[in-house]
Structure 1
């Protein structure tokens, strides 16, 4: 198996740290982690892809690991458009015209947005839990009580107490989320310490808090991204070939029996529900994730 090489690229807002596997001239694949995770989620996926000749890029999202903002004056935004814009600028900086994308949670949101708004940039999409675009104008509508209960951490982050709690207890709080969201996975205690250092980024708390406040309209977004946010309000369809991987044991959003997202996908689309898998899909189910990627790449 090939070894990852840590590299950096500078975009308009960020200096992005990313792990590179495989040949520079290989077909590009970009693997995107979520909150509160890191590129370690793809430790069993990136090397075999690289061994097959693919160019594999695994970035640290804004607020994670070695990725840094270029200016102290830049809003530490965690809004969905910022994550998508980061992905686009990463691709531009690395001269990647088109890539196959794989992401879950925050990373899945970035991948879905780019696939929806810039389909010419995406060869194929593996998305964790389907259609990840936030419907912010309708976020005020309550969900069923069980779903609201699972979102306790989001409401916690809306308060000053939650900001202080995440600041003081970031590792303990994130480890609790791992346990709650992947309740049947036996490797939480083993794998969490490998990702935890990524949360020591100086912007982690501010980016996380902004993300969970913006999606409920409790914090303003970056004015430079308003155009993209307006486009996302229309909940655009995704037309690129897509495989959705859903964890049957996901503690934050269990996969429903019926596919409620299918109407958002207008191209080749397949949903695969993974038994015994929680929220951390690529790390819990690397074999299934790798297969989904190869199914798209080898079409």
Structure 2
């Protein structure tokens, strides 16, 4: 039986953020960020080798997941990319972390990309999934190839009232389906999903998810308080921190393209690594590769700092 990980809470301007903390508090910080529809359990096998090397590892539950809660019923339940990035900056401020190594995928990777692009002094290095994941909202409604459109069916479903009702009524079954479709070569046991599924019972999960997938296509307005961040992201800012991009060769939603279309968005050290027989849930399917990429970048930045 899996030993439960203690959950801590930190208060930011909008949230009580639930997070898991590992290692010694004076270790150099690493923040690991999950995506949709996952939670911190994705990093369970990534954390130990980092802690063994003396690092402090923070793994938060994103807004709408687990025990993370909004402080006010009046706060917009935004899932837009700028909200996720602001949450990350706010959490770092609340924890007194001036600069951290970041690793994330899906929603978490997007938050890490944005912070690295707009606040590079706060990011020592970056391990991301699928390269540059900042949304180009102005062009998001431009049709893609039929194959790419097919893979995004769930997003179009969430654009409809039926999709919102379906996620509400069938959140665990739908998320379990996505796990299988997005990681077709990962034969995960039911217990794996069962350990994560309670995070979807958060009372704001559906609202945050639905807003996220509607906002990224420009179909609903964002939080006015985040307009300046979204405006900065519309310029497609470069990422100027050392980065390794990990891409699952069997990713069922965002398979790697050739040649790499994202290299142009990274202005310093950047490397893309394609992982065979790995799908979308990279840290849970390939934990050693994620930990090794982080340790490699941390060593390189220590030598050059």
TM-score (normalizing by structure 1):
0.98
Superposed structure 1 runs of 4+ greater than 3 Å apart: 2-5
Does 2:302 align with 1:298?
Answer: no
* SS of residue paired to 1:240: coil
Q: Find the counterpart in structure 1 of residue 18 from structure 2.
A: 17
- Counterpart of 2:44? 43
Aligned residues: 298
Is the Cα contact below 8 Å between 1:63 and 1:202 reproduced in 2?
Answer: yes
Post-superposition Cα deviations, 1:268-287, rounded to whole Å, max 9, x if no partner, equal 01000000000000000001
- 1:186 corresponds to: 187
In the alignment, which residue of structure 1 is the partner of 2:197?
A: 196
Residue 240 of structure 1 and its aligned partner are, at CA, apart by 0.1
Determine the structure 1 residue equivalent to 2:137: 136
Following superposition, the deviation at residue 188 of structure 1 comes to: 5.0
Distance change (3 Å), C-alpha of 1:3 and 1:27: farther
1:5 is paired with a residue of what secondary structure?
coil
Unaligned ranges ≥5, structure 2 = 301-305
Q: Distance in 1 between matches of 2:245 and 2:83?
A: 23
**Quick check: 1:17–1:65 contact (8 Å CA) kept in 2?**
yes
1:190 is displaced (CA, Å) by 3.7
Contact persistence 1:3–1:47 (CA under 8 A): no
Contact preservation (8 Å) 1:178, 1:188: no
Q: CA deviation at 1:48?
A: 2.0
For residues 285 and 46 of structure 1, the distance between their equivalents in structure 2, rounded to whole angstroms, comes to: 12
> 5 Å matches for 1:88-127?
88-127=89-128
2:303 alignment counterpart: none
Q: Could you report, residue by residue, the CA deviation over 1:127-180 in whole angstroms, capped at 9, with x for unpaired residues?
A: 011001000001121100000000000000000000000000000000000000
Output the CA distance in 1 between the equivalents of 2:4 and 2:262.
37
* Paired residues for 1:148-187 under 5 Å: 148-187=149-188
Residue 46 of structure 1 deviates from its aligned partner by 1.2
Residue 186 of structure 1: CA displacement?
1.2
CA RMSD of aligned residues (A): 1.1
CA displacement, residues 76-116 of structure 1 (integer Å, 9 cap, x when unaligned)? 00000000000000000000000000000000000000000
Is 1:84 the counterpart of 2:85 in the alignment? yes
Deviation at residue 50 of structure 1 after TM alignment: 1.4
User: 2: CA distance between counterparts of 1:287 and 1:103?
Assistant: 14
Give the superposition deviation at 1:4: 4.4
Matched, 1:284 2:285: yes
Task: After TM superposition, give the deviation of residue 191 of structure 1 in Å.
Answer: 1.3
CA contact 1:5–1:21 (8 Å) conserved in 2: no
- Counterpart Cα distance in 2 of 1:236 and 1:271: 19
Q: Residue 234 of structure 2 aligns with which residue? A: 233
Aligned-partner Cα distance in 2 for 1:127–1:218: 27
Q: Secondary structure of the residue that 2:294 maps to in structure 1?
A: helix
Does 2:279 align with 1:272? Answer: no
User: What's the CA shift for 1:118?
Assistant: 0.4
